């Protein structure tokens, strides 16, 4: 992954003023900054229970890795021994899926190059290419022929339509997204390429290893084997989340040092320190953030469906919104920046960063409408779809009975490899926002965020006035009808 040297939207004043030190915000300290080259300074408010949970989750990570490895080895050996007696064909099952794993790595690296060369085109291409590829996977599953395959294929087609509608809805945000991505990723920390490539390699090797276990369980197809496959997939999902967030913490830490203090930090050194000291907090965050995102997304869907015409439904939607806001405060991805920079517990880091956003007028709403997470998600979906098409078409040609399961496994693995590959992009944007919230007047920031906040406030005021006028018109109509 080549390191970019220039960018059309990036302001050199913003990033290349390393010696003009602005006053440190209250949440940081001179000691914290001086120790950036070593372990992050622990915060004074770490509790015994917090340390206990961090050690517990760290132990849980390594315990599950050990147990899953033993399970995979046993399943692989058993599958190879019993393959002939259960009509399982390893030479037909393994090559398409392992090839799709390799394809996911190639596609991830290729997408990195496209993004670095032209971020603006990469963003637009993602929001249009992802629905097309997802729909192609759905069509492939429908072509397999069975009712179950057609049902799952229909879900993929519906997902593709949803992506298309979403892409049309957010087109007005593309210009700001181009600017913020360009500013945040214009000059990544030294040795970012090594961190990203190492993370992708680990994700590919681990995925390929788990594929052998899934194949071993598939060879006998008992109810217990279905449980084993489910456990392996859950382990894959959580481990990939941890790997992604380790990279995210390391690079966001190095990027935060540049944005907040004007100094450079080596990404590989930050990565090494993160693995040594911060895995426990990252494991907690890797569990909380997906759960909070899912719950918050569900609550948003309920709010959209409830509308405001019914008083009971409106009050319920308001209650759900309060719950969603509270959950966001307790667990959000921006907390990973403070985990890496100040060695805070994840819940404390999430709360502190979100309170910083709220203390800056308009920033919370801007953060909430940011498209970086959508870009990374749909990029990973695209990688998963490419992997899925590779394995599915291959399997459809040589052994149709395995086509559905292999296609789905390839999609899941490709998606997570894609998330790991683009973690550095999201890390840079997280660091940019958090550093801005701590010192909005720093000379290292241009007017991109203030101008966007002002624009959003104008749009919000215009929308409120229009709703007020519509409410008055409805009241007048009801009065006239009486």
Per-residue pLDDT of the chain (482 residues; tens, 9 = 90+): 444 444 444 443 343 333 333 333 444 443 344 344 455 555 445 678 778 889 999 999 999 999 999 999 999 998 888 766 666 788 889 999 999 999 999 999 999 899 998 899 999 999 999 999 999 999 999 988 788 889 999 999 999 999 999 999 998 899 999 999 999 998 899 999 999 999 999 999 999 999 999 999 988 878 888 999 999 999 999 999 999 999 999 999 999 999 998 899 999 999 999 999 999 999 999 999 998 888 887 777 666 665 544 444 445 556 766 777 788 888 899 999 999 999 898 999 999 999 999 988 889 889 988 899 999 999 999 999 999 999 999 998 888 888 899 999 999 999 999 999 999 999 999 999 999 999 998 888 988 999 999 988 888 777 767 766 666 666 665 656 65
pLDDT at 10: 46
**DSSP labels, 17-58:** -TT-PPPPPTT--HHHHHTTTSSPPPPTT--HHHHHHHHHHH
Q: Give the SS3 label for residue 368.
A: helix
Cα–Cα nearest to 318, from 303, 330, 296, 329: 303
- pLDDT at residue number 137: 96
Spatial separation of the C-alpha atoms in residues 262 and 190, rounded to whole Å: 14
Amino acid 478: pLDDT: 61
Q: What is the pTM of this model?
A: 0.87
**What pLDDT does residue 63 have?**
96
pLDDT at 83: 67
Identify the pLDDT of residue 458. 87
- Burial string for 454-472 (b: 16+ CB within 10 Å, else e) reads eeeeeeeeeeeeeeeeeee
**C-alpha–C-alpha distance, residues 471 and 482, integer Å:** 17
pLDDT for the residue 199: 96
Neighbours of 284 (CB within 10 A): 23
Query: Inter-axis angle of helices 403-421 and 147-169, to 10 degrees?
Result: 30
């Amino acid at each position: 992954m080549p390191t970019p040297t220039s960018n059309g939207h990036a302001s050199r004043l913003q990033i290349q003023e390393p010696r003009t030190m602005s006053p440190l915000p209250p949440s940081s300290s001179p000691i914290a900054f001086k120790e950036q080259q070593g372990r992050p300074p622990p915060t004074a408010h770490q509790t015994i229970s917090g340390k206990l949970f961090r050690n517990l989750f760290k132990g849980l990570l390594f315990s599950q890795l050990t147990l899953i490895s033993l399970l995979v080895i046993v399943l692989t050996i058993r599958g190879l021994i019993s393959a002939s007696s259960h009509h399982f064909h390893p030479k037909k099952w393994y090559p398409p899926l392992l090839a799709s794993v390799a394809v996911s790595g190639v596609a991830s690296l290729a997408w990195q190059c496209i993004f670095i060369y032209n971020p603006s085109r990469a963003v637009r291409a993602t929001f249009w290419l992802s629905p097309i590829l997802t729909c192609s996977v759905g069509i492939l599953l429908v072509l397999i022929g069975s009712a179950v395959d057609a049902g799952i294929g229909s879900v993929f087609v519906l997902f593709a339509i949803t992506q298309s509608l979403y892409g049309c809805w957010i087109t007005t945000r593309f210009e700001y997204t181009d600017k913020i991505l360009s500013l945040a990723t214009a000059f990544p920390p030294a040795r970012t390429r090594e961190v990203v490539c190492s993370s992708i390699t680990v994700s590919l090797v681990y995925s390929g290893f788990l594929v052998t276990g899934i194949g071993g369980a598939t060879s006998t197809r008992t109810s217990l084997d279905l449980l084993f496959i489910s456990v392996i997939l859950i382990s894959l999902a959580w481990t990939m989340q941890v790997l992604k967030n380790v990279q995210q913490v390391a690079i966001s830490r190095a990027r935060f040092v540049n944005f907040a203090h004007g100094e450079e930090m080596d990404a590989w050194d930050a990565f090494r320190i993160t693995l040594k000291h911060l895995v426990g907090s990252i494991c907690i965050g890797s569990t909380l953030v997906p759960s909070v995102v899912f719950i918050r997304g569900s609550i948003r869907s309920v709010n959209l469906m409830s509308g405001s015409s019914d008083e009971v439904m409106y009050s319920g939607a308001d209650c759900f919104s309060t719950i969603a806001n509270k959950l966001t405060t307790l667990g959000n991805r921006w907390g990973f920046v403070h985990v890496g920079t100040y060695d805070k517990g994840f819940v404390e880091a999430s709360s502190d960063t979100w309170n910083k956003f709220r203390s800056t007028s308009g920033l919370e709403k801007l953060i909430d409408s940011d498209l970086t997470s959508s870009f990374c998600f749909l990029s990973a979906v695209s990688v998963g779809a490419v992997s899925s098409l590779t394995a599915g078409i291959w399997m459809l040609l040589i052994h149709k009975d395995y086509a559905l399961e292999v296609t789905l496994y390839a999609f899941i693995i490709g998606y997570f490899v894609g998330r790991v590959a683009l973690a550095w992009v999201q890390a840079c944007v997280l660091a940019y926002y958090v550093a801005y919230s701590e010192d909005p007047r720093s000379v290292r920031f241009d007017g991109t965020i203030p101008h966007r906040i002002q624009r959003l406030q104008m749009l919000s005021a215009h929308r409120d006035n229009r709703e007020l006028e519509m409410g008055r018109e409805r009241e007048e109509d009801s009065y006239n009808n009486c």
